[in-house]
Amino acid sequence: MTELVRATRIGQFVFVLTLCSRDSPGTMLSSSKLLTLVLVVQPGRVLLGMKKRGFGAGKWNGFGGKVQPGETIEDGARRELLEESGLTVDALEKVGNITFEFVGEAQLLDVHVFRADHYNGEPTESEEMRPQWFKQDQIPFSQMWADDVLWFPLLLQKKKFVGYFKFQGHDVILSQRLEEVEEL
């Protein structure tokens, strides 16, 4: 099957137009939800949060969520980190941009991944997340999203990346693309 994909950003939404070949006729239009993900990294360790409710509950993850109207992506990342962990950061480094597709869901997830090497405050449990430090050689990938094991090494090496992951349910990756890039 041959596909031509075109993405257009309008405000906080990304619209993806997929034109399919004759053996799969039709045009699909998807919008994208703009999300952030922040990983706090210290020498030899990384801060993760156990998601207590909502999307991804029961999984270890970074801190993040939806970008609110009127917020920049970075402002949204800072707000979510504060709300979910009690931490503030002076600087965020954008290291990744990942698009997630979940079979049966019309909306794609456009996730902007940030790394913070310095922070202010003490990690504090919130209604949504329970923070915990993990040694970098003991990251609990078996209790995280299936794609994390693929891009986390790039994040830890301060390399920039873009990716696409198509999931069946929340645990099975059907297809993927991940590449290291010079700039985001």
pTM over 0.85: no
Number of structural domains (the chain) is: 1
**What's the token pair of residue 26?**
């039709």
In a domain, 90, yes or no: yes
> Per the domain annotation, does 57 fall within a domain?
yes
- Residue 82: inside a domain: yes
Residue 15: inside a domain, yes or no? no
Give me the amino acid identity at 26: G
> CA-CA distances (angstroms) from residue 65 to 15, 96, 180?
19, 15, 24
Domain carrying residue 99: 35-181
Per-residue pLDDT of the chain (184 residues; tens, 9 = 90+): 334 444 444 454 444 444 333 344 444 546 899 999 999 999 999 999 999 998 889 999 999 999 999 999 999 999 999 999 999 999 999 999 999 999 999 999 999 999 999 999 999 999 999 999 999 999 999 999 999 999 999 999 999 999 999 999 999 999 999 999 999 9
Instruction: Please give, one letter per residue, the 3-state secondary structure of 128-181.
Output: CEEEEEEEHHHCCHHHCCCCHHHHHHHHHCCCEEEEEEEEECCCEEEEEEEEEE
Model pLDDT, residue 1: 37
**Does a structural domain hold residue 20?**
no
Assess if residue 8 is contained within a domain.
no
Dist. CA 74–CA 138, nearest whole Å: 28
Predicted local distance difference test score (pLDDT) of residue 30: 65
Q: Which helix (H) or strand (E) holds 114?
A: strand 108-116
Q: Is residue 114 part of a domain?
A: yes
> What's the CATH code of the domain at 116?
3.90.79.10
Q: Is residue 163 part of a domain?
A: yes
